[in-house]
Amino acid sequence: MDRRNFVSMGALVTGAAAILRGTKASGQAQPRANLQGQTPSVRAREILPGQPAVVTPNGVTLPWRIIDGVKVAHMVAEEFEHEFAPGLRARVWGYNGHTPGPTIEAIEGDRLRIYVTNHLPEFTTVHWHGLILACGQDGVSGLTQRPIPPGETYVYEFDLRYPGTYMYHPHYDEMTQIAMGMHGMFIVHPRRLRGPRVDRDFVLMTHEWKIDAGARRPNPNAMADFNVLTFNSKSFPATSPLVVGRGERVRIRLGNLSPMDHHPIHIHGVNFKLTATDGGYVPESAQHPETTQLVQTGSAKVIEMVFEESGDWAMHCHMTHHGMMQMGHNAPNTVGARTGTLDRRMSRVMPDFMTMGATGMGGMGEMPMPVPANSLPMRGGPGRYHYIDMGGMFTVVKVRDRVDGTEAQAQGWYEFPEGTVSGPADPARMAADGVTVPTRGR
């Protein structure tokens, strides 16, 4: 049995002892939200009048030095250790020790000079996805330049002609390098405010990975069955929440350089409009309301919204398998199976045996099942009322009456007003409303 099958089987047959004994799951350590890269101030720092600096949850922004009016930066393509969520680490490839690489943030009309050092074991280049520039700066190995050999440093230099939301990634052996984590966002602010001013501006890069249970590196050969899904290369509960104020105008710039899949990103409690793509701005007359935005691979989508209700609002990819972690997709389907006889017979050889998955899989993540080292099968995270059984490409937009910028607020759950949370129905009220419960098992 290979390790992947081990996880599948593990989810189905092992570790039921705690359930049988009725003990409470204590499994994982309680992860803390990672606030690295989040602006701590109440009002986000302005990069130009009316335009807040972008925040990369769980990530960083590329620092500049200004040399004779040119913004100069240095990116090193390299391998390093990355934690996707507590319990899962891998050797990945990225830039300056980060995946996604540092967010590039500059202003329309800027001239940039970006040095790229290759510390990978193979050639690389950097392609500036969506930018209009001289063809020789486009970063396509063989077509527009020689690839950068291991150990060497090349330089790219260009002007930022148009404001917008762009991306960057290698254009040599993309299949391997992007699958290993090499991608980043590239934000060019307009020199003069365009559209309504926003209060918050976030970037989230979606991604999919194949990391076999116990493996030390992502598998770049995968074409399907991706099992680690991420926002900014973190899986819930390690995804840093987006903290925003009720009534504030919020911009979220979504990018997707996943190897194979598109991600329909859904946000609860709000509707939003697509205001720009990596191709430019959407005219106001063409903007229409949505609650789910498809971010196809190779694209960036900019959405803007105003929350009218405070709360803890879920934000996630709506492909249901993208909200789970390292699920063994070849597990036998036991939903609806009557397992009593099997369990009785198996218990003669394995006293704690209980078939799992017969009632669905929502409870699996919180069970203290034995799983292979360095893996997170079916893991989610602790919630305000119950274990949150989603993982992967899932985060929380924490909408507060007033953002105070403290870590306590970012870490804390929403205090629901008395009487506003769904709970058990009152039998007297049900009778008065004429609701009778039909016999189970029709």
Stretch that binds Cu ion, among 69-77, 84-92, 310-318, 347-355 (CB under 5 A): 310-318
Q: Output the smallest distance, CB 70 to Cu ion, in A.
A: 39
Q: Output the smallest distance, CB 95 to Cu ion, in A.
A: 23
Tell me, residue by residue from 322 to 351, as one string, x for binding to Cu ion by CB under 5 A and - for no binding. Answer: x-----------------------------
Tell me, residue by residue from 390 to 409, as one string, x for binding to Cu ion by CB under 5 A and - for no binding. Answer: --------------------
Could you give the CA distance from residue 231 to residue 227 in angstroms, rounded to a whole number? 14
Q: Give the nearer residue to Cu ion in terms of CB position, either 129 or 322.
A: 322
Report which of 165, 138, 188 is spatially closest to residue 278, judged by C-alpha positions.
165
Q: Give the nearer residue to Cu ion in terms of CB position, either 119 or 266.
A: 266
Stretch that binds Cu ion, among 96-104, 195-203, 220-228, 259-267 (CB under 5 A): 259-267
Q: Give the nearer residue to Cu ion in terms of CB position, either 160 or 252.
A: 252
Q: Give the nearer residue to Cu ion in terms of CB position, either 6 or 226.
A: 226
Does residue 82 bind Cu ion (CB under 5 A)?
Answer: no
Report which of 108, 81, 113, 107 is spatially closest to residue 94, judged by C-alpha positions.
81
With residue 280 as reference, give the H or E element that holds it. Answer: strand 280-281
Q: Are strands 104-107 and 184-189 parallel, antiparallel or unpaired?
A: parallel
Q: Output the smallest distance, CB 319 to Cu ion, in A.
A: 4
Does residue 169 bind Cu ion (CB under 5 A)?
Answer: no
With residue 5 as reference, give the H or E element that holds it. Answer: helix 3-13
Encoded amino acid at 58, one letter: N
Does residue 319 bind Cu ion (CB under 5 A)?
Answer: yes
Q: Output the smallest distance, CB 232 to Cu ion, in A.
A: 14
Q: Give the nearer residue to Cu ion in terms of CB position, either 71 or 263.
A: 263
Could you give the CA distance from residue 115 to residue 93 in angstroms, rounded to a whole number? 18
Q: Output the smallest distance, CB 373 to Cu ion, in A.
A: 27
| Longest CA span, the chain | 79
Does residue 316 bind Cu ion (CB under 5 A)?
Answer: no
Does residue 388 bind Cu ion (CB under 5 A)?
Answer: no
Per-residue burial over 51-63, b = 16 or more CB atoms within 10 Å of its CB, e = otherwise: bbbbbbbbbebbe
Integer-rounded Cα radius of gyration of the chain: 24
Could you give the CA distance from residue 377 to residue 3 in angstroms, rounded to a whole number? 12
Stretch that binds Cu ion, among 100-108, 153-161, 169-177, 311-319 (CB under 5 A): 311-319
Q: Which of 189, 263, 316, 379 binds Cu ion (CB under 5 A)?
A: 263
Could you give the CA distance from residue 177 to residue 79 in angstroms, rounded to a whole number? 10
Retrieve residue 195's tokens. 């559209």
Size of site (CB under 5 A) for Cu ion: 4
Retrieve residue 207's tokens. 């991604």
Stretch that binds Cu ion, among 111-119, 173-181, 258-266, 327-335 (CB under 5 A): 258-266
Q: Output the smallest distance, CB 189 to Cu ion, in A.
A: 28
Q: Give the nearer residue to Cu ion in terms of CB position, either 254 or 305.
A: 254
| Residue 177 near residue 217, CB atoms below 8 Å | no
Encoded amino acid at 171, one letter: H
Q: Which of 62, 204, 243, 317 binds Cu ion (CB under 5 A)?
A: 317
Instruction: Go through the chain and tell me how many residues it has.
Output: 442
Does residue 179 bind Cu ion (CB under 5 A)?
Answer: no
Walk across the sheet containing 292-295 and list its strands. 242-245, 394-400, 311-317, 263-267, 292-295
Could you give the CA distance from residue 280 to residue 298 in angstroms, rounded to a whole number? 15
Q: Output the smallest distance, CB 8 to Cu ion, in A.
A: 21
Q: Give the nearer residue to Cu ion in terms of CB position, either 319 or 367.
A: 319
Binding interface with Cu ion (CB under 5 A): 263, 317, 319, 322
